[in-house]
């Protein structure tokens, strides 16, 4: 099976074309291929497929074998892949995902995609859609974790996200608290956990514990959720630079509440791998 390894500001993926639906056991395959010791190594496995309602369909499976309805960094890699592999040779794409149809605008220089701007849709604070079992009033609430109280906002940005206004935080605390919060009974389907440090009203830094992948270098939907929560709680403006561990994204929320994400994606290498039938 041919694959392409790609990354979006450090969030890395294995891209596989599946136009004939020949790939079986996608979830088990993701666990094997994403293993960083015995496989190729990645945060997720991304399938490029045909769509009846959009230009293409994207399916993402996390490194633990769980399905992801949406992934912001993956969809930028997906868009770059589709253009540069001559699958869809245009600079605007409609991409079908389980979270809905996402619109991508590609910046192209010398026939290479430099950045991708994605219309990510509106965040939802509906506790039934997230889903979330606690009280929700669209504003930050207080949660006691390890004897410390954190301001938290929970929302759906394609996938469930919890945003903590933590200030600067260590990797150890991100892992400890992220793993704990992900599995709280408040979140019947789990949640991604974003630790936000507000630098000024136009800049934040974010560390994310991803549901199904653990601590990652970047999370696109997490950056979007963090900006939505920051603006909602009067901590930033609508357009924010989000600093991740290995790069930056520009996130903007328009007056109608729609979120736009812009950032780079790049190809790491290509190869072939044997998979058991």
Residues recognised as catalytic: 71, 219
Q: How far apart are CA 65 and CA 218, in angstroms?
A: 19
- Provide the β-strand partners of residue 116: 106, 263
Assess contact for 190 and 160: CB atoms under 8 A.
yes
Q: How far apart are CA 137 and CA 142, in angstroms?
A: 12
DSSP state of 41: -
Four-residue CA torsion sign, 130, 132, 136, 139: negative
Phi, psi (deg, nearest 5) at residue 57 = -115, 135
Assess contact for 93 and 79: CB atoms under 8 A.
yes
Phi, psi (deg, nearest 5) at residue 142 = -100, 135
Which residue in the block uniquely carries the two structure tokens 């903590």?
164
Assess contact for 161 and 195: CB atoms under 8 A.
no
Beta strands in the chain (DSSP E): 2-8, 11-17, 44-49, 56-62, 67-68, 92-97, 100-109, 112-121, 141-145, 148-156, 160-165, 192-200, 203-210, 214-216, 239-244, 247-253, 259-264, 266-272
């Amino acid at each position: 099976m041919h694959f392409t390894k790609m990354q979006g500001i450090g969030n890395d993926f294995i891209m596989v074309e599946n136009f004939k639906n020949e790939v079986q056991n996608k979830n088990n395959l993701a666990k094997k291929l994403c293993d960083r010791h015995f496989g190729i190594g990645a945060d997720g496995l991304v399938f490029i497929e045909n769509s009846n309602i959009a230009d293409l369909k994207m399916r993402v499976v996390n490194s633990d074998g769980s399905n992801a309805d949406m992934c912001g960094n993956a969809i930028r890699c997906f868009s770059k892949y589709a253009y540069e592999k001559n699958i869809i040779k245009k600079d605007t794409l409609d991409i079908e995902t389980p979270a809905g149809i996402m619109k991508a605008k590609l910046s192209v220089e010398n026939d290479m995609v430099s950045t991708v701007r994605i219309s990510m849709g509106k965040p939802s604070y509906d506790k039934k859609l997230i889903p979330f079992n606690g009280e929700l009033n669209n504003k930050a609430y207080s949660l006691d974790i390890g004897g410390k109280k954190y301001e938290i906002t929970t929302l759906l940005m394609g996938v469930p996200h919890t945003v903590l206004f933590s200030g600067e935080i260590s990797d150890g605390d991100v892992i400890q608290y992220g793993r704990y919060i992900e599995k709280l009974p408040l979140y019947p389907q789990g949640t991604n956990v974003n630790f936000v440090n507000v630098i000024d009203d136009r800049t934040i830094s974010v560390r994310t514990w991803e549901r199904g992948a653990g601590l990652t270098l970047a999370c696109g939907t997490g950056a979007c959720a963090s900006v939505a929560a920051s603006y909602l709680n009067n901590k930033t403006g609508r357009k924010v630079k989000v600093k991740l561990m290995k790069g930056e994204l520009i996130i903007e929320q328009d007056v109608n509440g729609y979120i736009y994400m812009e950032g780079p994606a790049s190809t790491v290498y290509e190869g072939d791998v044997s998979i058991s039938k």
